[in-house]
Amino acid sequence: MTAPLLQVALGGAIGASARYGVNVIALRVFPGLPIGTLFVNIAGSFVMGLLAAILVDRGLMARHRFF
């Protein structure tokens, strides 16, 4: 129980930190628009999908079923 909770907490911390850092920079270029949040969310979704595809392809997630 503890390991999945820590993994989710770590993922949340990484995502929040990335959104904050990118937003600080993006707000200088595009004031008033949350472009940084959009960019980090799209990039994070791509990375998670890529990681899931690699793990499934290598058989490391055989017991997990997505849909």
Q: What is the pLDDT of residues 36-50, one digit of tens each?
A: 888 888 998 999 899
Between CA 35 and CA 67, with CA 51 as vertex, the angle to 5 degrees is 95
Q: Which residues contact 36 (CB under 8 A, 6 or more apart)?
A: 19, 21, 22, 23, 24, 25, 26, 27
> How many domains in the chain?
1
Report yes or no on 36 lying in a domain.
yes
Report yes or no on 63 lying in a domain.
no
Mean pLDDT comparison of 12-16, 33-37, 62-66, highest-scoring range: 12-16
Report yes or no on 41 lying in a domain.
yes
pLDDT at 67: 57
Report yes or no on 10 lying in a domain.
yes
Q: Residue 16 is part of which domain span?
A: 2-57
Report yes or no on 30 lying in a domain.
yes
Largest CA distance in the chain: 46
Q: Which residues contact 24 (CB under 8 A, 6 or more apart)?
A: 36
